[in-house]
Amino acid sequence: MNARKIKRIIISQPQPNSDKSPYFDIAEKYKLTNREVDMLRYLGRGAGNDTIASELYLSDATVRRHIRNLLDKLSVAERQDVTEWLNNYKV
């Protein structure tokens, strides 16, 4: 098994329930998938699709799909609004 596959397996593992980070609360409240939480974290840091795709070993189209699903679940119109949304959520 190569390092890329191992990283993909580790990243895709569900976050432990004992985490109790604000992201866990958001995921639970808005019924986010693990990948949508990943997108939320990256968008909160201002990362672009290319960065997200390369670090998570995903295609650009897959990243766009996860982001669109996330924005729909959070009722946010644009990705730039996610940072403000997170600030209002007190993350």
Q: Is the pLDDT of residue 18 over 70?
A: no
For residue 73 the two structure tokens come to: 């679940």
Residue 52 in domain: yes
**Residue 85 to residue 91: CA distance in whole angstroms:** 9
Q: Is the pLDDT of residue 44 over 80?
A: yes
Mean pLDDT (whole number) for 66-78: 95
pLDDT at 58 over 90: yes
The length of the chain, given as a count of residues: 91
What's 65's domain CATH number?
1.10.10.10
Q: What is the pLDDT of residue 13?
A: 53
Dist CA 32 CA 47 (whole Å) = 19
Domain count, the chain: 1
**86 domain residue, yes or no:** yes
